[in-house]
């Protein structure tokens, strides 16, 4: 079942009013020498906010590794955590669709709530037919676009905590330089995959921005959201594509049920074509906390390196920073 987009859009318009006006007057009695509390949603947001905030804030993420943000509903503990936050960041673009009511309630409590994608130029965003006028939220799959979200976070933290504004902007500049290197590594690596093999087959359609940024076609069993299951026709059509194109490898995702991928493997085998699992990719969640792939840099390094090597391209086994082989 897809989201009720009209209702959610109305709520998000209301929410944006709260997030935009309250950061300057939120908790004006706060001691600027003491860390304040930022609450975030999925791991990708949590990581970039930590990079920017540095030592000036405690950053608490609501979603752990392997959690699907499309399906996530806030618990009572989550609500308590949100209501003691000084500022809240989430992805937006309806990724956390089931948390919309929670964000509105927190905004009404005069806590600034910001979608990190708010500052993106809408001309950059994908608008899939199945979303009926709404945007694909998986923007972190294009490292250069996610880097712009880092800048947005720095701006909002600088507004909220002017005493440390220079630190936030310096942190963002340093981090964005690393992201620029990762973006170039990914482009270069994917380009080495032979054109006949350069097709990415995944469980759900989270890689649209990756496809555009790094010039690799993507096909998926499920659409943008994981709420709807793939039909028998969806499986059969993708099996036919794999057989006709002689694609050798497909990919599973860490936060998505693998039953559909198993059906693809069995369908190809029944038609005399052997397909293997090229690896597990991170789509809507990162790796384990404390690991290299539990960072945004590590997550995307893993994805680019795994895809390239599985499809016959040239990428170092340990990735662009030399950390993958020992980190996973």
How would DSSP label each residue in 195-224?
A: GGG--EEEEES--HHHHHHHT--EEEEE-S
CA geometry: angle at 49 spanning 44 and 54, to 5°? 135
Q: CA 3, CA 225: separation in Å to the nearest integer?
A: 9
Same domain? For 164 and 78 the reply is yes
The pLDDT assigned to 23 comes to 44
Q: Any idea how long the chain is?
A: 328
Final residue belonging to a domain, choices 153, 186, 219: 186
The pLDDT assigned to 14 comes to 44
Same domain? For 231 and 162 the reply is no
User: Does residue 89 have a pLDDT over 90?
Assistant: yes
Same domain? For 133 and 257 the reply is no
Same domain? For 158 and 270 the reply is no
Q: CA 107, CA 237: separation in Å to the nearest integer?
A: 45
User: DSSP 3-state assignment of 251?
Assistant: strand
Total structural domains in the chain? 2
Same domain? For 27 and 138 the reply is yes
Question: Given CA atoms 241, 134, 121, 285 in this order, what sign does their dihedral have?
Answer: negative
Same domain? For 146 and 208 the reply is no
Same domain? For 255 and 111 the reply is no
User: Residue 2 — very low, low, confident or very high, per pLDDT cuts 50/70/90?
Assistant: very low
What is the token pair recorded at 55?
Answer: 């030592």
Q: CA 156, CA 272: separation in Å to the nearest integer?
A: 55
Q: What confidence tens digit (pLDDT) does each residue in 21-41 have?
A: 444 444 556 777 789 999 999
User: Does residue 176 have a pLDDT over 80?
Assistant: yes
Q: Which residues contact 76 (CB under 8 A, 6 or more apart)?
A: none
**Residue 280, domain extent:** 190-327
Same domain? For 129 and 199 the reply is no
Final residue belonging to a domain, choices 151, 168, 186: 186
State the burial class of residue 214 (Cβ atoms within 10 Å of its Cβ: 0-12, 13-18, 19+).
Answer: buried
User: Residue 16 — very low, low, confident or very high, per pLDDT cuts 50/70/90?
Assistant: very low
User: Residue 232 — very low, low, confident or very high, per pLDDT cuts 50/70/90?
Assistant: confident
Q: For residue 225, what is the domain's CATH number?
A: 3.40.50.1980
Cβ(26)–Cβ(162) below 8 Å: no
| Strand order from edge to edge, sheet including 36-40 | 57-61, 36-40, 87-90, 113-115
Same domain? For 89 and 128 the reply is yes
CA-closest candidate to residue 179, choices 216, 158, 187: 187
Alpha helices (H) along 127-164: 143-160
The pLDDT assigned to 229 comes to 62
Tell me what the pLDDT averaged over the chain comes to.
86
User: Residue 248 — very low, low, confident or very high, per pLDDT cuts 50/70/90?
Assistant: confident
Mean pLDDT of 158-170: 97
Same domain? For 167 and 213 the reply is no
Same domain? For 285 and 173 the reply is no
Final residue belonging to a domain, choices 171, 186, 201: 186
CA geometry: angle at 87 spanning 86 and 92, to 5°? 160
Q: CA 240, CA 313: separation in Å to the nearest integer?
A: 24
CA separation, residue 261 to residues 33, 107, 189, 245 (Å)? 51, 40, 25, 17
The pLDDT assigned to 252 comes to 83
| Least confident stretch, 50-54, 241-245, 305-309, 316-320 | 241-245
User: Residue 256 — very low, low, confident or very high, per pLDDT cuts 50/70/90?
Assistant: low
Same domain? For 127 and 114 the reply is yes
User: Residue 134 — very low, low, confident or very high, per pLDDT cuts 50/70/90?
Assistant: confident
């Amino acid at each position: 079942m897809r989201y009720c987009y009209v209702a959610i859009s109305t709520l998000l318009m209301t929410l944006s009013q709260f997030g935009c006006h309250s950061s300057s007057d939120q908790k004006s009695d706060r001691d600027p020498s003491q860390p304040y509390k930022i609450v975030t949603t999925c791991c990708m947001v949590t990581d970039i906010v930590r990079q920017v905030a540095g030592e000036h804030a405690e950053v608490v993420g609501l979603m752990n590794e392997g959690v699907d943000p499309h399906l996530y509903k806030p618990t009572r503990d989550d609500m308590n955590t949100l209501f003691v936050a000084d500022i809240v960041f989430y992805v937006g673009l309806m990724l956390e669709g089931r948390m919309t009511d929670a964000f509105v309630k927190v905004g009404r409590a005069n806590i600034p709530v910001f979608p990190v994608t708010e500052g993106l130029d809408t001309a950059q965003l994908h608008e899939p037919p199945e979303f009926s006028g709404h945007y694909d939220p998986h923007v972190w799959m294009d490292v250069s676009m996610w880097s712009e979200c880092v800048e947005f976070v720095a701006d909002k933290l600088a507004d909220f905590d002017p005493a440390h504004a220079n630190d936030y902007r310096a942190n963002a500049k340093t981090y964005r330089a690393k992201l620029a290197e990762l973006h170039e590594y990914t482009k270069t690596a994917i380009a080495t995959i032979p054109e006949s093999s350069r097709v990415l087959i995944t469980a759900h359609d989270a890689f649209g921005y990756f496809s555009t940024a790094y010039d690799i076609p993507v096909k998926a069993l499920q659409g943008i959201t994981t709420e709807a299951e793939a039909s028998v026709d969806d499986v059969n059509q993708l099996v036919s594509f794999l057989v006709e194109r002689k694609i050798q490898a497909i990919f599973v995702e860490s936060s998505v049920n693998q039953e559909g991928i198993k059906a693809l493997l069995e369908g190809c085998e029944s038609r005399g074509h052997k397909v293997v699992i090229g690896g597990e990719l991170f789509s809507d969640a990162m790796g384990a906390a404390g690991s290299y792939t539990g960072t945004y840099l590590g997550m995307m390094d893993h994805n680019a390196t795994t895809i390239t090597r599985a499809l016959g391209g040239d990428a170092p086994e340990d990735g662009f920073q030399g950390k993958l082989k020992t980190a996973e």
